[in-house]
């Protein structure tokens, strides 16, 4: 105890001696002085792209982004899709009731298989854009990707509704399409935003080609599926144009061929399974 008191006394004596000296630090400018540092701002942080409800919170930590990505994945694959726009070709726009009843058995099966392929393609497109958005470097790129993914969810809901009308079901392999496409999207985005946007351009170009092919193969009486595919086609063209305008890089030919091959595997399997 005596030793502790002596230490405290010597420290107080040192403080007294030091207080007599001038401080080595510059004096703080008075309030209102233009040299004074501005008061710390508590203005809201930039909006988090993964969670629009927390605009007043700091930018998302990696764990938050991963949780949001997992949430989006589960919703895309397992939850019923919700469209923000009405289904194209719905009465009264076309002036008629559901036309699925007018199709013969084989026509209905063909239309259902084609719509199942389109549904799987929309799952893959959403996954691709979600994966790209997760590792996008700029906020502008992330915004383009998430906006495109949101419109893909309209497509997903329309295809899902049409599959029900045709008494059919989505592909059983949808979780596989989502996981594979998400990984490809994230890898593409690791190569930089311009390459990532190049993937969007190429994906949309290939989807447009598939839609053209499906429009030619749909039964002539299936006006509803046709209206859905035509609206989707217009949206896909707009997604590609947006990505091109945002500075997308042209992908090398081997990469484009690889993407075509991967899409061929998916569309062939989804037609049957």
Could you list the residues that contact Fe ion (CB under 5 A)?
122, 152, 155, 236, 239
Residues 185, 224 contacting (CB under 8 angstroms): no
**Measured from the CB atom, is 48 or 114 closer to Fe ion?**
114
Cα–Cα–Cα angle for 147, 152, 153, rounded to 5 degrees: 100
Residue 92: CB minimum distance to Fe ion, A? 25
Residue 257: CB minimum distance to Fe ion, A? 21
What span, in angstroms and rounded, lies between the C-alpha atoms of 92 and 82? 20
Sign of dihedral through CA atoms 151, 154, 158, 164? positive
**Measured from the CB atom, is 155 or 226 closer to Fe ion?**
155
**Measured from the CB atom, is 210 or 239 closer to Fe ion?**
239
Mark 237-248 as b/e (b = at least 16 C-beta within 10 Å): eebbebbbebeb
What span, in angstroms and rounded, lies between the C-alpha atoms of 217 and 213? 6
Q: In terms of Cα–Cα distance, which of 220, 204, 210 is closest to 111?
A: 220
**Measured from the CB atom, is 150 or 169 closer to Fe ion?**
150
Residue 155: CB minimum distance to Fe ion, A? 4
**Measured from the CB atom, is 108 or 239 closer to Fe ion?**
239
Q: Give the CA radius of gyration of the chain.
A: 29
Residue 56: CB minimum distance to Fe ion, A? 32
Residue 158: CB minimum distance to Fe ion, A? 9
**Measured from the CB atom, is 119 or 155 closer to Fe ion?**
155
Say whether 172 sits in a helix, a strand or coil.
Answer: coil
Residues 197, 141 contacting (CB under 8 angstroms): yes
Residue 32: CB minimum distance to Fe ion, A? 55
What span, in angstroms and rounded, lies between the C-alpha atoms of 111 and 211? 13
Residues 185, 142 contacting (CB under 8 angstroms): no
Q: In terms of Cα–Cα distance, which of 78, 174, 184 is closest to 131?
A: 184
**Measured from the CB atom, is 152 or 165 closer to Fe ion?**
152
Residue 106: CB minimum distance to Fe ion, A? 27
Both tokens of 157, joined, read 């809901």
């Amino acid at each position: 105890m005596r030793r502790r008191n002596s230490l405290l006394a010597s420290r107080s004596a040192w403080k007294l001696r030091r207080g007599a000296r001038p401080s080595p630090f510059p004096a703080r400018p008075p309030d209102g002085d233009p040299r004074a540092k501005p008061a710390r701002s508590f203005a809201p942080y930039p909006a988090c792209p993964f969670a629009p409800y927390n605009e007043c919170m700091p930018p998302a930590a990696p764990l938050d982004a991963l949780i949001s990505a997992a949430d989006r994945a589960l919703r895309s694959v397992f939850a019923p899709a919700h469209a923000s726009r009405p289904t194209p070709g719905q009465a009264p726009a076309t002036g008629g009731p559901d036309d699925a009843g007018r199709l013969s058995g084989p026509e209905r099966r063909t239309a259902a298989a084609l719509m199942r392929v389109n549904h799987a393609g929309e799952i893959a497109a959403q996954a691709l854009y979600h994966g790209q958005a997760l590792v996008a470097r700029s906020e502008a790129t992330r915004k383009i990707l998430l906006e495109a993914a949101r419109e893909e969810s309209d497509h997903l809901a329309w295809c899902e509704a049409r599959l029900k009308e045709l008494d059919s079901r989505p592909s059983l392999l949808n979780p596989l399409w989502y996981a594979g496409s998400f990984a490809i999207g994230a890898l593409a985005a690791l190569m930089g935003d311009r390459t990532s946007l190049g993937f969007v351009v190429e994906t949309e170009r290939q989807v447009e080609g598939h839609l053209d092919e499906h429009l030619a193969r749909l039964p002539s009486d299936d006006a509803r599926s046709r209206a859905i595919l035509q609206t989707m086609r217009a949206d896909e063209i707009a997604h590609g144009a947006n990505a091109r305008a945002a500075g997308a890089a042209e992908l090398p030919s081997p990469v484009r061929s690889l993407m075509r091959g991967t899409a061929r595997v998916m569309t062939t399997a989804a037609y049957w399974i």
